[in-house]
């Protein structure tokens, strides 16, 4: 299979996906394993939420 280059980097694609998720879903669940990858994704998502959707103040935490 041949690669398709979309003309954007991984971070730009991530922001597009975050915008889609926040726009399309009223409730968002995040799985967090505690590893490096999920820790980075969680921090990127929280930073995105604070920057683009500051009115969403309620965050539920389950342990």
Q: What is the mean pLDDT of residues 51-62?
A: 67
Tell which wins on pLDDT, 60 or 34: 34
- What global pTM score does this model have? 0.73
Beta-strand ranges (E) seen in 1-63 are none
pLDDT of residue 60: 55
List pLDDT tens digits, range 12-32.
999 999 999 999 998 888 888
Instruction: Please enumerate in sequence order all residues whose Cβ is within 8 A of that of 36, keeping only pairs 6 or more positions apart, or say none.
Output: none
Q: What is the mean pLDDT of residues 43-62?
A: 76
Ramachandran category for residue 11: left, alpha or beta (phi over 0 → left; psi -120 to 50 → alpha): alpha
Ramachandran category for residue 21: left, alpha or beta (phi over 0 → left; psi -120 to 50 → alpha): alpha
């Amino acid at each position: 299979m041949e690669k398709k280059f979309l003309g954007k980097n991984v971070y730009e694609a991530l922001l597009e996906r975050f915008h889609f998720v926040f726009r399309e879903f009223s409730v968002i669940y995040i799985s967090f394993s505690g590893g490096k990858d999920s820790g980075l994704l969680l921090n990127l998502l929280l930073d995105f939420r604070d920057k683009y959707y500051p009115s969403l103040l309620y965050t539920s935490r389950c342990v």
